[in-house]
Amino acid sequence: MSVLVAGTTGSIAHHLMELLPRESGPLVAAGPILPPPEQQRADVQYVRADLRDPEEARRLFEYHQPSEVVHLASRWSVRSGEEDPEEALLGNVALARNVLEACRRHCPGARILFQSSAEVYGLGPLGRGAEVARTEDDPLLPLSTMGASMACGEILARQYVLGHGLRIVVARLFNTVGPRLSRQSLAGEIAWQLARIRVERGEPVLYTGDLEVERDYVDVRDVARAYILLLDKGEPGETYNVASGKTATARQVAEELVQLSGGGVEVRFDPRRERTTEIPMMLGDPGKILRHTGWRSAIPLRESLKDLWNERLGQFRLERKGSRC
């Protein structure tokens, strides 16, 4: 028996693999791209596998027979989903179906965490964004292709719970922040631009999209902790918001990162970075996950941004030093 994480390179996968207990058996991380050797953990078995291929997924699960499964392998960027909607929609649905079907065939008793996204909520039933916090009972009304793919994945997960008795818990994740965050996220992209300005001493201009939107930010380390608790205490067949219950504007995030970087940077709007259909406010109600598991977000946004900035700046310096060697 083993613990299998589908998805290997994201910030959540990194922090999750630090926390997952090893008593359940070997820890296996599978995905089409593996972390570079210096970022791989010695106590994790990394397996290169394209889980969009049902045969590869079948072989992986048949061989490892996991007792716990965490499905993180999806395309998460809203912008890239709009640029390549077919891959975002069909690719994410294929990933979900192949992982769930492999679980049904080879480890039907496993506890499964299926990562979804608050993008499934869209503008909400009033069509204006969230004046109130979203709850797990709100309808799925996605605006983006990525959100639609996550909604399809949730429907598939429900099918495998009802039709096949799989023990699936859905984690509906709000916006993430913290160390090792990808450039596909707002904070990750801003930190990357600022690191480039500082290291390369380039033009001190930060390019952003709409900074007036409000989002519910959760540190990736808090997310990893939530997933551990949901695997242990979450009710199969239930969905849980992983949210802080409070919002910050994108402008607050940008200004905080500019201050952490030393200041002196102009923030300039770039229409190419604006979403085609924007959700003005996204706020999650974390009451259900608190009641069922005791989890609540613990790391303040400023600390998350400080850790993101320090990690991104250090990584950028290493990358530039390596490119000159």
pLDDT digits 0-9 by tens, 50-82: 999 999 999 999 999 999 999 998 876 666 656
In a domain, 275, yes or no: yes
Please report the pLDDT score of residue 76 as a whole number: 64
Residues 6+ apart with CB under 8 A from 254: 190, 206, 208, 211, 267
146-184 pLDDT, tens digit per residue, is 999 999 999 999 999 999 999 999 999 999 999 999 888
Please report the pLDDT score of residue 21 as a whole number: 83
3-class SS at 219? Answer: strand
Contact call for residues 194 and 257 (beta carbons, < 8 A): yes
DSSP H helix total and E strand total for the chain: 11, 14
Do residues 259 and 318 share a domain? yes
Name the residue among 12, 104, 27, 1 with its Cα closest to residue 58.
Answer: 104
Question: Is the pTM for the entire model greater than 0.85?
Answer: yes
Quick count: other Cβ atoms within 10 Å of Cβ 31?
A: 21
Please report the pLDDT score of residue 273 as a whole number: 78
Residues 6+ apart with CB under 8 A from 232: 293
Handedness of CA 179, 182, 188, 192 (dihedral sign): positive
Quick count: other Cβ atoms within 10 Å of Cβ 321?
A: 10
Do residues 52 and 68 share a domain? yes
Please report the pLDDT score of residue 250 as a whole number: 95
- String of b and e for 195-210 (b: at least 16 CB within 10 Å)? bebbeeeeeeebebbb
Task: Extract the tokens encoding 312.
Answer: 């991104």
In a domain, 267, yes or no: yes
pLDDT in tens, the chain (325 residues): 689 999 988 899 999 999 998 777 789 999 998 888 888 889 999 999 999 999 999 999 999 999 999 999 887 666 665 667 777 788 899 999 999 999 999 999 999 999 999 999 999 877 766 678 999 999 999 999 999 999 999 999 999 999 999 999 999 999 999 999 988 899 999 999 999 999 998 899 999 988 999 999 999 999 999 999 999 999 999 999 999 999 999 999 999 999 999 999 999 988 887 776 788 999 999 999 999 999 999 999 999 999 999 999 998 888 877 666 5
Please report the pLDDT score of residue 55 as a whole number: 96
* Domain assignment of residue 263, given as a range: 178-215+246-280+299-324
CATH of the domain at 106: 3.40.50.720
Do residues 199 and 80 share a domain? no
Do residues 153 and 195 share a domain? no
Task: Give the span between the Cα atoms of 97 and 52, in whole angstroms.
Answer: 9
Contact call for residues 1 and 24 (beta carbons, < 8 A): yes
Do residues 152 and 199 share a domain? no
Do residues 80 and 192 share a domain? no
CATH of the domain at 196: 3.90.25.10
In a domain, 292, yes or no: no
Do residues 48 and 88 share a domain? yes
Phi, psi angles (nearest 5°) of residue 66:
-70, 145
Do residues 195 and 93 share a domain? no
Quick count: other Cβ atoms within 10 Å of Cβ 122?
A: 24
User: Beta strand pairing status for 214-215 and 248-249?
Assistant: antiparallel
Name the residue among 59, 10, 63, 56 with its Cα closest to residue 33.
Answer: 10
Please report the pLDDT score of residue 128 as a whole number: 67
In a domain, 287, yes or no: no
